[in-house]
A and B are shown apart, each in its own frame.
Chain A
Amino acid sequence: MVDEAQLLAALRAGDLTAFGQWAARAEPSLRAALRPFAAAVDVEAVVQEALLRVWQVAPRFTPDGRPNALLRFACVTARNAAVSELRRSGPSAATLDDVERALASEPTGRPWEPDPFLRAAIAECREQLPKQPGLALTARLTSAGADDDATLANRLGMKLNTFLQNFTRARKLLQACLEKKGVRLDEELAP
Chain B
Amino acid sequence: MTSEQELLAEQVLNAHRQSAPDGSLRAHRAWHDLDPDARRETAEAAERLRKLEAALSPEGHSSTVSAVLARLRSSRGTP
- Chain A residues with CB under 8 Å of chain B are 16, 19-21, 23-24, 27-28, 31-32, 34-35, 38-45, 47-49, 51-52, 55, 85, 112, 114, 118-119, 122-123, 126, 140-141, 143-149, 152, 161, 164-165, 167-168, 171, 174-175, 185-186, 189, 191
Contacts of B55 in A (CB 8 A): 114, 118-119, 122-123
B interface: dominant SS: helix
Pick the residue among A31, A44, A114, A185 that contacts B28 (CB under 8 A): A44
- Cβ contact within 8 Å between A126 and B56: yes
1/0 per residue, CB under 8 A from A, across B8-27: the answer is 00111111110000001111
Task: Report the separation of the CA atoms of residues A89 and B64 in the bound assembly, to the nearest whole angstrom.
Answer: 24
- Chain A nearest CB from B60 CB (Å) reads 5
Task: Report the separation of the CA atoms of residues A60 and B61 in the bound assembly, to the nearest whole angstrom.
Answer: 25
Task: Report the separation of the CA atoms of residues A52 and B65 in the bound assembly, to the nearest whole angstrom.
Answer: 10
Task: Report the separation of the CA atoms of residues A122 and B6 in the bound assembly, to the nearest whole angstrom.
Answer: 23
| Smallest CB gap from B58: residue in A | A119
- Chain B residues with CB under 8 Å of chain A are 6-7, 10-17, 24-28, 31, 36-37, 39-40, 42-57, 59-73
- Cβ contact within 8 Å between B63 and A164: no
Contacts of B39 in A (CB 8 A): 38-40
Task: Report the separation of the CA atoms of residues A55 and B72 in the bound assembly, to the nearest whole angstrom.
Answer: 9
Contacts of A35 in B (CB 8 A): 43
- Cβ contact within 8 Å between B40 and A27: no
Contacts of B48 in A (CB 8 A): 175, 185-186, 189
- Chain A nearest CB from B72 CB (Å) reads 6
